[in-house]
Structures are given as C-alpha cells and as structure tokens.
Chain A
C-alpha cells in the first residue's frame, strides 16, 4: 500500500488551479496504489545471496517503484556527484513489483525497489529480495531505534537477516474540518453517531480499510478467521459505509470533499491531508489518531535478486538515510521521517504533522500490519477481502 500523492503534480496543480485539481493529479497514482495482495507466507528468511560488487558507485541503476519514490530533487546531488543514471520503471499497483521481478526469471535487471511492510511475508515466500549487508549502509544508525530493529519482522527477519530499510512512514487516523467539527472526534465509534449520517467520507483503499477495521476490532489483518471474525468485520464496515456519503478514489480527492464542506470528517484520515488543504489556503483540516488507535504504513528500500549494480543501490539507500536528504524526502512526500536527525531539518508544515517528541508512544498508536494472506484455509485472504469490500460498497447504496 502506498499513501503518497505525486508531489510534483500536486504542487504544480495547486499553483495553477486550487485544491479541486489536487485529486486529479493524485488520482492516477492513488487509484492504483493499494494492490491488495499479500501472503501468510512461510515467514522464512528471504536471503538468497548477499549482493556484492567491486565497491564502485556509478553507472546506471534500474529503479522499480512508485512514481515520485525516486525523489528526483532529493537524490539529484548524489546522482550528479557519482555520475549515476536512473532508469526508472514506475508501478501501477504494488503487485507489479513481484510480477516484474519474477518475470525477470533470475536474470539481472532491477537494482532497487521499495515495498510496503504488509508485503514482506509474500516477498519472503517468493524469495525476490536480496539479503542486505548492514555494514554497507552505515546511515542505518541514523534511524530511530524502532526502525533500526524490527518488532514485526517487516525489514529484519527473525534470524537477523535484513531485507529492507525503512525510509518513509505515516499514520492513519481521522481527518476532520475543525470549523464544522471543533476538536474533531475522539473515537472511531463516534463516526457511527446518527448525527453524522451522510456527513462522513471514506477513501477507497481496501488494504488500508482492512487494517483499520482490524485495529478497531482488535484483530490482525492476516489472521481474520472466516467463521468467527469475518462476520464482525463485515458488520462494522457495513455500519461505517451506511454513514458514508462518498467513497473517494484518493486521499487528494478526499481532501477536496472535506475542504468543500461535503463531509465533516473522513475515514481513513492522513496527516498529509492537512498539508494538502493548507496548500489550498484552508488551515482548518486536522488529523488525529482516535483513542482506539490507528495503523501505520512504512515503505522500505530493498535490493531485488535481479540486481546487477549492488554497490550503487547500497549507496542510494545510504544516501536516502542522510538526515538532510531524508528531511527533503519527507517534505517532498509529505510523510514522516524515520531518521531521527532529520526531524530538526524538516519544513515547518511537515514537522507539525507527526509527534516526533514522543515517537515511540506514537508508533504504539499506529502499529504496522501484514496484509491478509494470498491463500489460507482458515483465514480470510486478500482476494476475499477485496471482493467483500466491493460488495459492501455496492450494498451500502442499495
């Protein structure tokens, strides 16, 4: 899953046409940003081999990820200094990553990719990520301690093998119009209050929504039992959808609905929406994590098994964890920085989005989850959830 807006489009469009155009720039990426695949996987270490080269940084690097994740402005000094040429392949859905790497069928090709933490079990099962040598990424020490370790084995396997390096993250809560709803909402259950019927919005993000409902109902997205848990999930989501006026294709579009007064609050909310609204001159859009908590998303850099320029890929990852560079990246993506020393270097707007002064407590409020499994006899699969989500949306209007 990916929650980013294409910042270039966003900023360019804001200059030209105001907030209504934000979603137009945002939609092409975000319509497709939430590929729902995942797997229970084997959970085994993904190590295939430790990529190594002759230590030379340069040449070309084949980059496979979302448009914008190559962070052109932030990475430019590094590419110029090392004479690196970027051959970027942009994905339309997260599933494109495993599809393209597997399609290479063991030959060389992509040098660098990113992944949403929920895909880690699937990628471990497929064995498409190389084991990383942390000594080649000394800037890992710049990360907050939480991101240097790994509670959920999203980046570091249980045996200590590292396959990913977190470089951007964020949290999901409730976003609201503080003029229409002073102080906002303190609980997800407040959204079910009859007085909000037809006044709240939703984002069409099935992977995110199953993480959200799991959090509210105290479940795990990858362990939702078909017989005992799924009926509760459906029931709660149906109630939320019955309250919902519109389901937006993207967070940019959802911002439009909040700003224009169509809805007073939305699930899911993202702190970046505050920034999108502020860019359009509205400083009354706020986001907070309700008392039940929200959920988090974190993207990590990884080196796929198709790498043929590993030293340059390592150098890229190390460069992104430089405090100055990662602050630029966070400003560019309107995201949170996992690099501790980047915090004082953030722009004022970006810095205000997340509570860095107590980051550990905040991360406890927004746990990271795995996606539902691809196949399971016991638990709801990713495909099942996507069909259920579509069904629930359609039935909410009938």
Chain B
C-alpha cells in the first residue's frame, strides 16, 4: 500500500502529492486563462476570430474607451459594493448569534439558512420577481393593509431588485463562512472584555471585529466579485436600469460573435478584481488586522 510517507520519500514525493491539484488548476484555470489571453489579442471577423489576423491590443482599447462600458462598469461596481457590504453586515450578527447564543436551535437555524442553497439559482431569481412585481407578494400585502393605493413601480427592473436578489443568493454562504471564522474565537475573550468594563459597542469594535476582519474581508471580496460580474440576475431583474458589465461580455460571446472583445472584457475585469484584492489586503495589513491570531 502506498502511504503518504512513502510518497514523500520519492524524489518527486511532495510534487506527486500535489499533482492532482496541479492538474485540476491547470485544466480548470490556467488553460482557460491562456485561451482567453490568446483570444483577446485576435481580431473578430466573419468568424468569432480570424486565425491569420495580426496580434493586436485593439480589443482592450475598444473595451476601455467605450463610454457605455464605463457606465456599465460603474453600475457593476455599485451593485457589487452594495451587495457585498449589506451581505457581510447582515451575516455577521447572524453568525455571532449562531456561534454564541443559538444554543439548541443552532442546527435548525443553520439548516434553514442553508436550505435556500438547494433551490436553483434561477428559481431564486424568479422568486424575487414574484415578490417584487407589480402584482407581487409585497405590493399585494401593502395594498391589502392599506399602506399604498397603487403598486409600487420602483421595486422591480432596476439595480435595487438586482441587489436584493444577489444579497439573498450569497447570504447563506457568507453566514457559513463567518460562522466558521468565529469558531476559534472563545466567548471568554468577550467576557473578559466585559469584566474589564467594555460595553457592547467596544467589545464588538475592539475585540470581535479585529478578530474576524480578515474572514469578513474575504467574504466581502467573494460577494463583490460574484455580484459585480453577474450577468444572469441583471437580465431577469435589472430591466434597462440594471444592466451590468457581465451582460456586455456575455453578449460579445453569444450575440456579437466577437470573442476578442469578450475575452478582453473578461480579462480586464479579472485585473480589476485582482486590484481590489490587493487593496483590501494592503488595508488589512496597514491596520494590523492580518496578523491578529485567534485565541482559544
């Protein structure tokens, strides 16, 4: 039987252990990435790209100089930012309650939170259309209790509807992520702070938040990237006011047949997201929050 110890003793032992992961990353990330890089420097024509055309950065220039793309990028950034901040802000107290106060209800509540994950992404989007629509649940309820006389028109087909749906979609993942992050944080720390005279606000700002800053930042980036790059939710809930950059990229591939434009757009967004990651990492380092160690 081949054991881990035996593998490690082989000349390429550690590499052999990492081989499945290396193959997986190469196939699922590196190969598509290289393909996109190649596409992005080609030129579209009758076919999605012309194999014999000279290498050019025109697709990047066109993407970056398009005024419409600037509008869509702003829309994407605001949607991603609002969805990420709100999701983390809602998830943190829920995760705190689950970790320290849920008691015997913890498993049931965790089950309820994660249950929505089992519903299809599209079903959840349609559920929000049913909720926010002109004859939807929300408008019907408000009319029936006499709060409004006519359906509210601003609930659907705009950035608001897109953001609400994205928050709902990503909330369970972030609650689980932060709940797991709070696992090693002992309640003794909070009790000690209380014994030393710290009020609720001070216990949160000086004890808890520094300890979960890194995972919370991770959750923020996770939600921001997936929200800002989404192209399905905006199409179903965004109307003409909620279109985002992902829709433009999708159209380049599936409607325009301009793969270089789509690839250049996708890689530009990838670079923007990497920049965001670096900025958040730098901010955490600057605030000394990356070096905070969990104490049990």
Contact = CB atoms under 8 A, between A and B. Distances in A.
A383 B258 contact: yes
A252 B126 CA distance: 13
Interface in A363-398: 374-375, 382-383, 386-387, 390-391, 393-398
Given A93-B254, A262-B156, A244 B240 contact: yes
Interface string A236-271: 000001001111010001001000111000000000
Contact of A122 (B46, B71, B239): B46
A153 B235 CA distance: 36
Given A36-B256, A95-B257, A246-B157, A261 B135 contact: yes
Nearest to A386: B256
Nearest to B62: A387
A391 B236 contact: no
Interface stretch (B7-15, B142-150, B241-249, B268-276): B241-249
B59 to A, nearest CB: 12
Given A374-B45, A397-B239, A32 B254 contact: yes
B256 A20 contact: no
A390 B48 contact: no
Contacts of A21: 126
Nearest to A385: B256
B135 A374 contact: no
Contact of B123 (A24, A92, A396): A24
A198 B153 contact: yes
B257 A37 contact: yes
Contact of A36 (B157, B158, B257): B257
Contact of B255 (A27, A34, A39, A246): A34
Interface string A66-85: 00000000000000000000
A204 B240 contact: no
Contacts of B250: 31
Contacts of A383: 44, 256, 258
B233 to A, nearest CB: 11
Nearest to B250: A31
Contacts of B21: none
A329 B149 CA distance: 48
Interface in A107-159: 122, 125-126
Nearest to B157: A246
Nearest to B121: A24
Contacts of B111: none
A261 B236 CA distance: 16
A391 B46 contact: no
B47 interface: yes
B256 A397 contact: no
Nearest to B151: A261
Q: How extensive is the interface on chain B, given as a class? A: 35 or more
A184 interface: no
B16 interface: no
Contacts of B130: 20, 260
A206 interface: yes
Contact of B239 (A27, A245, A260): A245
Most chain A CB within 10 A, of B123, B240, B243, B258, is at B240
Nearest to B71: A394
Contacts of A20: 126, 129-130
B58 interface: no
Most chain A CB within 10 A, of B123, B241, B254, is at B254
Contacts of B235: 31, 204, 247, 249
Given A36-B257, A93-B257, A262-B156, A397 B46 contact: no
Contacts of A102: 47
B80 interface: no
Most chain A CB within 10 A, of B239, B243, B248, B250, is at B239
Contacts of B153: 198
B122 interface: yes
B71 A398 contact: yes
B243 A35 contact: no
Given A262-B156, A386-B255, A394-B68, A247 B48 contact: no
B72 interface: yes
What 6 pairs between A and B have smallest CB-CB spacing? A397-B241, A397-B240, A396-B240, A95-B257, A246-B239, A32-B254
Interface of A: 20-21, 23-24, 27, 31-32, 34-37, 39, 92-93, 95, 98-99, 102, 122, 125-126, 198, 204, 206, 241, 244-247, 249, 253, 256, 260-262, 374-375, 382-383, 386-387, 390-391, 393-398
21 contacts: A20-B126, A20-B130, A24-B122, A31-B235, A34-B255, A36-B255, A36-B257, A95-B47, A98-B47, A99-B47, A244-B240, A245-B239, A247-B240, A256-B129, A260-B134, A374-B45, A386-B255, A393-B243, A394-B71, A394-B72, A394-B240
